Structure 1
């Protein structure tokens, strides 16, 4: 059995180099609505039996480019929200600091983040527990940080595949596991 994880295409949403927490939040909201920059995706000639996709437009647009069948849209596949790690109207920080510190705040269970590490893991496992395991090749199109966490759960379930540190836009990552037996 094969699971393909594909991060959506790059989003066309430039940002300021230095910003306040409010400006970072406003950029995040613009990012959610922005268009993607389409590019060819190497799918290695695999015939995907089913495609699950996040309900966010950037993921749906990407899925429609690489899969011709019916899409199984699921909000459990949404990206983990990256909220500002602190509120500051006066302090301006580089965009990268807001981004990285938000993820670190998530990892260290800061109350600044809307979802906890445990919440993200529960969401991924809820999704994995309800997908159609009778399919041989399952494609999942979602988001970078979600895929980073997703691949860890797949490995916990016995799948083999690349251990990701950075998830690239429009790149397919494959995980191979034993076919589940019907009970």
Structure 2
């Protein structure tokens, strides 16, 4: 009698989907001490187009079948340095950050960001995207990735979006380390 268990194991292994989530490299854009809401909006725009701090990264040859990245320049440039030409998509963009109040006093940078993220968590109208909309966007990207035919994808994205994406991957049966606050250039693997 021939043991065909190897065939079943091979089929299970070949149907495994792997998604490596990578936070873009660090951006060269100093944080100002205090600013008005309009200055914070301007700083966010500057951050989106700021250059990367050079990093040496050695990817293993053939590590990924494909690479998707946010279409924001910092993610695209990171993906190009690690993989080559990525598939760019707005679905992997950072959760947009807006001032939580118009005008008002000059506040420290950290107050603007922390309050903006709390407002996002509560789906406050000051933010361009609600928590629910962010989760839907992550789910749409997962559907695209799973339908792409690739077995191991590198997804280059952003520090606040990656935990949302990882949470949606978990809901779809993926396992892997919880991302917490990823360092710039850090990668975590999610598998299904």
- 2:131 matched residue in structure 1: 117
Is the alpha carbon distance of 1:116 and 1:85 closer, same or farther for their aligned partners in structure 2, counting shifts above 3 Å? Answer: same
- In structure 2, the gaps of 5 or more residues are 1-16
Q: How far is the alpha carbon of 1:134 from its aligned partner? A: 2.7
Moved over 4 A (4+): 42-46
- For residues 164 and 56 of structure 2, the distance between their equivalents in structure 1, rounded to whole angstroms, comes to 25
Asked whether 1:146 is paired with 2:146, we answer no
Specify the SS of the correspondent of 1:105. helix
Asked whether 1:35 is paired with 2:85, we answer no
- 1:127 matched residue in structure 2: 141
TM, length-normalised to structure 1: 0.89
- 2:116 matched residue in structure 1: 102
Alpha carbons 1:42, 1:172 under 8 Å: kept: no
- For residues 161 and 42 of structure 1, the distance between their equivalents in structure 2, rounded to whole angstroms, comes to 22
TM, length-normalised to structure 2: 0.85
- For residues 150 and 84 of structure 1, the distance between their equivalents in structure 2, rounded to whole angstroms, comes to 24
Q: How far is the alpha carbon of 1:79 from its aligned partner? A: 1.1
Larger of the two Rg values belongs to structure: 2
Specify the SS of the correspondent of 1:10. coil
Asked whether 1:74 is paired with 2:89, we answer yes
Which piece of structure 1 moves more, 94-103 or 17-26?
A: 17-26
Structure 1 counterpart of 2:64, from 19, 32, 48: 48
- For residues 68 and 50 of structure 2, the distance between their equivalents in structure 1, rounded to whole angstroms, comes to 21
- In structure 1, the gaps of 5 or more residues are 178-183
Alpha carbons 1:2, 1:137 under 8 Å: kept: yes
- For residues 152 and 46 of structure 1, the distance between their equivalents in structure 2, rounded to whole angstroms, comes to 27
- For residues 148 and 168 of structure 2, the distance between their equivalents in structure 1, rounded to whole angstroms, comes to 15
Asked whether 1:174 is paired with 2:189, we answer yes
Q: How far is the alpha carbon of 1:143 from its aligned partner? A: 1.1
- CA-to-aligned-CA distance 1:16-43 (integer Å, 9 cap, x gap): 1122211111110111111111213364
How many aligned residue pairs are there? 175
